[in-house]
Structures are given as structure tokens and as C-alpha cells.
Structure 1
Amino acid sequence: MSDLSPNTNESSEPALGAWILPISSTQSVAVGRHELKYIEYVETVVDLPGVPAFCEHGFLWRNRFIPALDLWSLLTRRRMPATNAEHLAAIIAYETAQGEIAMGAILLAGVPKLVTVVPAQSVAVSDLHEEWQLLSHAAFKDENTLYPVLDLRCLFDKTPADLLSLH
């Protein structure tokens, strides 16, 4: 595997790392290289009744409760069928509005992939589909695919009602 530290390409543009997270068979999103902390199979997911389908899950990990977002349910506004199978989750770290580091998880439909991104790949957030514009703070194109870069504070530092009002 290649060196994961920021480097430069042949044209001396600074390169950054981004994790591509598959959230369905047809949609992937990205987070910064340092935002993804762990990739875990989660055996027991707790359902929290009375909250929207996209944020009704969580699990205990290293003696703390980790809220788990189902971004595909948020995007499509459809509840995914419950299964007893293990869930693959990307455990991420983000900075709260109070400046503290907090943890959350994004439920995945496949294994994440680390890619190198250079400034020339940058795309305006306004070029994303409308549903991603409020959940992303950047975007880039890689191999003819457009990836929204998630605004993790927007996703995890809001209440379910706040997130629903975005859509």
C-alpha cells in the first residue's frame, strides 16, 4: 500500500487523502483521511424507537455509545429493512460546535477505499445533487464519479429534527 501521508504529485500540487465510503450499491461519499478512525463490523446494533429511520441506530464500542447514521435512508427518506446480520460501520471523529472531539458512525454497504485527491479534482458543492449540498462542505471528482465530502458536524452535531428540516 502506498504512503498515506499528504504528498505532491508530478505537477507539485499538494495531495490529500480521502476515504470513499459506499453507503449503497450506487452511492458513495467521502470523508477526510484523518476523520475516519476505525472500520468495524458491529454485531449488535441498538434500535432507538421514535426517531427517524436514518438515525435510529447506535452501538456500544469501547465502553461508549456511538450513534450510527444510515445516510442512504436519510437521502432516500426510506427505511431499510432490518437484518440480524453484522453491520459494517465507519467510525469517525468530528469537532462539535463547542470545540470538543466526538465520535459517530456511518453505516456502510461495502469496504471503504483510500484515494489521493489533488486540487484539480475539486468541484463546486453547487454541482452536487441538491440533497447533498446541505450535508457536504466540499466535493471532488475521481474516475468520472462525483463525491460529496461530508460535513460531519452538520450530520452528527444536530438533532434528528434539525437534519429532517434540511430536507
Structure 2
Amino acid sequence: MAVNDISSSARARANELLAYSQRHVDRVVSPPTRQKAYDWVYDLSTERPILFSFVAFQFTLSLAPLLLFAGFAATTIAVSLISAVLFSLFWIGIATLFLVPTLCLAFTISLLLWAWAVATFFAVRWAYQRLPFSVDRNGRIVTRDSGGKKIIFDKKNNTGVDLKVEAEVVEAKE
């Protein structure tokens, strides 16, 4: 009875496998198309048995080398793709070893240049604020005399500011 159960279980598995493979074959080649091919092969084998046997022997003996070649080609492509990916990753890793220190150096230099520019800006602004004169929005020089009065020097004939003592005082404000 135990042998019978194993045998029926094996048959059930075989039938499931056959049905599964039949469904996949039906998706690739429809049953009517497959039936036409079976009929054509049967007709060829009955009408021209010598030609059919020649083609059958050629197909049977050539199938193994063709399948081996297809497997070799697929394996070669897979290995070459994997090799290309690994080769690329290796060299990208090597390039990263140069990129990271370069970026650190560039960051440090740009940070130093920025700090220098900001320090220069604040130093020049501090010095400019302590000058005894300034320039207003119209480009005129503004200063104060010893009494604290604001003195504005204007351009003469639009040729530039005249800084000589004889320069005209345009406006004096308190």
C-alpha cells in the first residue's frame, strides 16, 4: 500500500509538471499552430520518409552542439557583463580615492579664500568708517571741519573732485 501511494504521488506530480509545461508551451505557440506543425511533420514523414529521416538525424545530432554553443554564448555575455561591471566599479573606486582628497583640498582652499574675503571686507569697512571724509550717493566728498560742520565738495565742470584748498564749498550744514 505504501508503494502504491508513492507511485500515485509521483504520477500526480508528473501530471502537474506536464500541465504546467503545456500551459507555457500554449502561451508561446498556440495549439492550432502547433497542430499544423505536427500535421506537416507527419505528412512529411509518411510521404518522404528518406528526406524526413535525413532531417531528423541532422536535427538530432546538431541539437546538442547548437544548445552548447547557445549556452556558451549566453555564459560569455553574462561573464563579460559581470566583468565590465566589476571593472567599472574597481576604477570608480580608484577614482574616488583621488576625488575625496581633491574635494577636501578644494573645500579648504575655498574656505580660506572666503574667510580672507570676509576679513578684508570687514577691515576695509572698519577703515572706511574711520576716514575723515566720505563719499555721498552723488559722488561728492563730504567732510567735517573742526567745528563739526559738514562740508561738501562738488565736482567742477563734471571733471572730477577738486581737493585743493581753493575748492568751492558747495554746502555747509551743521
Q: Would you say same fold, with TM above 0.5?
A: no
Please give the TM-score of this superposition, normalised by the length of structure 1. 0.14
**Structure holding more strand per residue:** 1
Per chain length, whose mean CA-contact separation is higher, i.e. which structure has more relative contact order (CA < 8 Å, sep 6+)? 1
**Structure holding more helix per residue:** 2
